[in-house]
Amino acid sequence: MTTYLTPCILAKLSALCIALALAGCASTAGNDKSEARLWRAVLVGTADAVPVARVIDVAEEELVKEFKLDSVSNIRPGRHAHEWLLVSREPGAVRTLHTGMREEDHGDHKHWMAKAPELSEPLVWGKRPSHANAGGNRVAAFFDGDGVARVFQTNDAKKEAVVGELNSGKSHHGIAVPLSQRGRLLLSRPAPEGTLPLGVNLVESNGQIVIPGPDCPRQHGDAAHQGMIYFGCAAHLVVFSEAQSNFRVVNYPIGTPPEKLVRNIVASALQPQLLADFGPNGLLVIDSRSMGMKPVDLAAKRLHFTWDRAAPRYAFALTDDGRLHRVDTHSGKIETQAAVMPAWTEALSVKKTCLHRAWPQQQQAV
């Protein structure tokens, strides 16, 4: 499960970050109460202007481990519930972070064990990495600066090894998603103009195109859910089915204005719905069964959003007026809201909390 936080907010509002993690996001070691105390979260941000990743024992509200990073990093889901991918634009590297939660087989039963968290050395290097996506035993990291995706996986010696490199043909803000079938991937197709892709193609491990994907102008935002992979586009979603090896276009609701489009998507293993941002002031609930969509108006600029882990039909959204909204994803309505922090202003973000951005860059706490 995932919640979105910002390194800017983390520096000044760590208590709120932890509260949001408790509300809806942290990786869990198990669903029964006896294992609830093994729940750990990862927060990525800055502490005293130093980029860090913190692993936190949520039940005990204690810091388990802090790792100092080379730069502020994006964080993406890894190959299992307790692995996360740290993507550092500078110096241009991708690492894995393991929370230390491990399942041990005791014959007739299994136990979760809490061990020391681990941060790997850089596994792949390149110019301006952006997205890193896991699929099966592989991870593909896309490097915007040279338009190349580099793929690594665990080898027989249980060490990470680079197993492939795919060139999209042009530097752009792209993506590569490993699939479980025959070593194939979804690789972004650069547009003639601009930095955002025009869509994704199904390709072999050597980059040869198997199926060209439909046009997806201004493609950004992706999520994998129950064998389907979703991508946000300017006027619709593109959905790829692993089982059927085909693409599908799903239009936004009729009458959607141009400024409302999906840029980020989050999925929950506990819900048939997916949750996406939808313009600066909204969310979009996507039903994976019917492909129906329900827009949610937040009436203020959205900073972050997440599923409610304790009650998975609900979601939380934090807006720049300082309010936390609880959304019923079944009805698409805001059930309740409360003021949880002072209103966020651009001046505050520039002068007091951000290292290098005027507006919060979405990050994940897991």
Give the CATH number for residue 319.
2.130.10.10
pLDDT at 65: 95
- Note the pLDDT tens digit of each residue in 271-281: 899 999 999 99
Report the chain's mean pLDDT, rounded to a whole number: 84
3 state SS of 348: helix
Neighbour tally for 36: CB within 10 Å: 13
pLDDT profile of the chain (366 residues), mean per 10: 36 38 38 52 83 88 91 89 92 94 79 89 94 94 96 84 94 96 93 93 96 97 96 98 96 95 93 95 96 95 88 92 94 92 65 35 40
Alpha carbon 63 to chain centroid, angstroms: 23
The neighbouring-strand residues paired with 100 are none
Domain that holds residue 211: 3-365
b/e sequence 110-148, b meaning 16+ C-beta within 10 Å: eebebeebebeeebbebebbbbbbbbeebbbbbbbebbb
The pLDDT score that the predictor gives to residue 164 is 93
Q: What is the pLDDT of residue 30?
A: 41
Residue carrying structure tokens 């299992």: 80
Beta strands in 181-328 (DSSP E): 185-190, 197-203, 209-211, 222-225, 228-232, 236-241, 246-251, 265-267, 273-277, 282-287, 293-297, 302-307, 314-319, 323-328
| Whole-structure pTM value | 0.84
Alpha carbons 137 and 135: distance in angstroms, whole number: 6
Q: For the chain, how many structural domains are there in total?
A: 1
Distance CA 64, CA 112 (A): 16
- The H or E element that residue 53 is part of is strand 50-57
Model pLDDT, residue 117: 95
Nearest to 120, CA basis, from 152, 81, 72: 152
